Structure formats: structure tokens, C-alpha cells
Amino acid sequence: MVAKAYDPSYLRAVKYWDLDFEEKGSGAGVSEEEAKRRVRELLEESIRLRLRADVPVSVYLSGGLDSCTTLALSAHLLHQAHPTAPLDAFTISFPEHHEYDEASIAERFSKLHNTKFHKIPLKQDEMVNYFEEATFHAESFNSNMNYLGKYALSRELRGLGYKVALSGEGSDEIFLGYPFFKKHLLDGWEAERKERFLERLLGDNKLTKSAFGLDRVPTEMDKECLASELQVGTKEAFCHVPQFNVLLEVTSRFLCPEVIHKMRGCWDACYNDTYLWMKTLFPSILLGTFGDRMEMANSIEVRTPFLDHKLVEYVTKLPAHLKIKIDEERSTMIEKYILRESVKELLHAENYQRLDVISSAQPPNPPLATVLHQQHTLLHSQSNRVE
């Protein structure tokens, strides 16, 4: 973020805020109980502020930890102040693809917290019908069609008269929820021990391995190219980043010497990845294309409690082992551990014990041939001909 500070002789650009993370070894004295208490306090306050509105507020709900936490705390705080106040939860359902469908989990959780549940069935032919308008509002290239689901969700809210919703974006970023953040916690392990643990953890799940960043190993040429694009001596800071050659142009523009210094020696490697992610794909794709643009296409304001700056500043300074709990004996890595523990009593057992399911994080894409055929027909229709 940049501010203009006035000086009698000139104007200068001044950075007034940036992401920062726990430095190696500095968080060793933070107890788990203190972290749980403080995370809960900050998250409750963030949600309390974002429930303020002169119109009804709803919640985007899936079966995942982030949206369930948002709904549970929203209901808890709202019903404390106004016991009879309504709170509505909206969930996308994929009736044609049960492996993606979390609506049943979401519905059980909604009932647990006495909120009104809305299930929005979304079939592939409907997604195809939304393609043109959603793509127009996206205003950018997209590598898949996940944004169609978000467009359908905001469209349904608007149709029912809602204007504001809370969602769980940002939790994966600050609590190290993505699989590719996890592997760096094993960096200090002996090679054979690490390989054995990952084999038990991941098995033959190709999707999980891909998300874990294990399906591609950067080449020496990648590393040399990156080093030549950035400042001298920065190769060591980035050689661990999966597919990092894609980031050449953008990283060379925004990384300042102070950040490069922290990446090289102060931050854990998982935080290097987090910084790059939160400066690139997160704001432009997840918050932009998949988020704000799909919501504002239907005039829906979505508020993100996990991105409250006080919560972000506290959580990013917590040690990584409080965010990802490693149990070598059971071959598990529990992501967002401290968040789970801070809201444990508000969750169903199935929500608390359930690890993030990668395949359910996005809706199934309609067959490309179907979309192309529809667009070809539209573009060659009589209404699109110039007389």
C-alpha cells in the first residue's frame, strides 16, 4: 500500500503497511493456549464489525472450516445481541457431481447454528448459460471456469434481495491452509524420513501431489533465469518456489531489498511462498476475478473477516507449527490447526476433524466443447450480424 505524504519541497511515495511474518525462532515463546484465545478474540471482533449493516447480512457457506467458522461466529454474535435475528446461509450444490457437492455438510452445520439454509443447485448447462456474462464481468483471462460458480451464487443472493454477505477468503493465506505451504515444514528432515512421510501422507493422489508442489521440480535453468531477472544474489531466496519461473516479471517489479533480505534469512520458506502468493494470485484472481468482480456483477458486497488487518498482523507472527500440526506417527499434517482449536466447541465433529478437500474447492468445469459450441452459435446468430 502506498500513501502520498506532503513535504514543502516535494511529494514522495511512502509505504505505510506491508505483510510481515514471524522470524525464525522468534515465536518460540508463544503458548498454544494464548494463541487460541487471541485468535478467537480478534476473529470475533472482526466479524462483529462486519455484521454492521442497515440491510440483512448473509453468509457464504460450504462444508469447509473457513466458512463454517464464519457462520458459527456470526450466528453466535448476532444471536447474543438479538436472539431472534435471522441469519441466512447460501451454498452452491452440484447435483450432477456428488464428489464436489458439500451441500449436505453445509446444511447440517447451518441447522446446528439455527440459521436459514439456502441450497443453490447448479448444473452444467446453467454454468454454460452464465459463461458470457460472467466472463464479461471478470475482465481478465481465466485458466478455468471456477468463477461461474461464484457468479451464480451472487446472482441468487441478489434475486432474493440480499446485498451483503460474509465469506471465508483469506483464512488459507494467513493460517497456511494450502498444501504447497506444508512441504516447507519438512525442510529440516533427513531425506529418507521426509520421503517416507510424504508417501504415507499423499499416497497415489495425483491431485494432492500437484497441489503440494511435488509434480514439478524447478530446473537449474529456472533458477538461473530467476536470479538474472532479480537483484544479484537472490537465487537462494526463490529456488524453492514451485513453478517460480512464471513469477519472473511480476516479482522483479515489486520485491524490494528489505523483503528479499527477509526471504533469504529471516522468514521460514513457507512464508516466502505466502508473501509471493498474497502479492500476486490472491489479490488479482481469488479476491479480484473470483471474488469482487463476480459479486459486484450482481451488486453484492462481500466482507472478508479473515483479512482484518489486526487479525492478519497477529496470525502472521505466530510460529508455523501452530498453523500446521504434524503428527508423524499418524502421517497427518493438520492445516489451520490453531484456528480449528480456537473455535472447536462451535464445530460439528465432522467439520473439526475434516481436513480441506482439494477436489471440492472448485466447481467442475463444463465440457469445453459445450461452451465453445454455445459461443460459436451465439456469435453467428442473426442478432450479431451487422447489416
We report the CATH number of the domain holding residue 329 as 3.40.50.620
Strands 11-15 and 2-6: antiparallel
* 327 within a domain of the structure (yes/no): yes
CB atoms closer than 10 angstroms to residue 351: 23
Domain count along the chain: 1
Q: What is the pTM of this model?
A: 0.82
Cα 316 → chain centroid? 15
169-179 pLDDT per residue, tens:
999 999 999 87
Question: Is residue 4 in a domain?
Answer: no
Q: What mean pLDDT do residues 16-45 have? A: 89
* Residue 39 placed within a domain: yes
Calculate the alpha carbon distances from 268 to 12, 243, 275 in Å. 32, 19, 11
Residue 325 in domain: yes
Give residue 344's pLDDT band: very low, low, confident or very high (50, 70, 90).
Answer: very high
Q: What is the C-alpha separation between 103 and 119, in angstroms, rounded?
A: 7
Environment class of residue 314 by beta-carbon count within 10 Å: exposed (0-12), middle (13-18) or buried (19+)?
A: middle
Average pLDDT for residues 365-378, to the nearest whole number?
A: 64
Range of the domain at 120: 27-217+298-375
Let me know if residue 15 belongs to a domain: no
Q: 130-134, 182-186, 300-304, 359-363: lowest mean pLDDT where?
A: 359-363
Q: For the segment 259-298, what is each residue's pLDDT rounded down to a tens digit?
A: 888 888 888 888 888 998 898 888 988 899 899 999 999 9
Closest CA to 218 of 226, 209, 229: 226
Domain membership of residue 205 (yes or no) is yes
Residue of higher predicted confidence among 37 and 365: 37
Within-domain flag for 16: no
Question: Is residue 279 a part of any domain in this protein?
Answer: no
Dump pLDDT digits (tens) for 155-191. 999 999 999 999 999 999 999 998 778 777 877 788 8
pLDDT at 293 (0 to 100): 95
Backbone angles phi, psi at 216, to 5 degrees: -150, 130
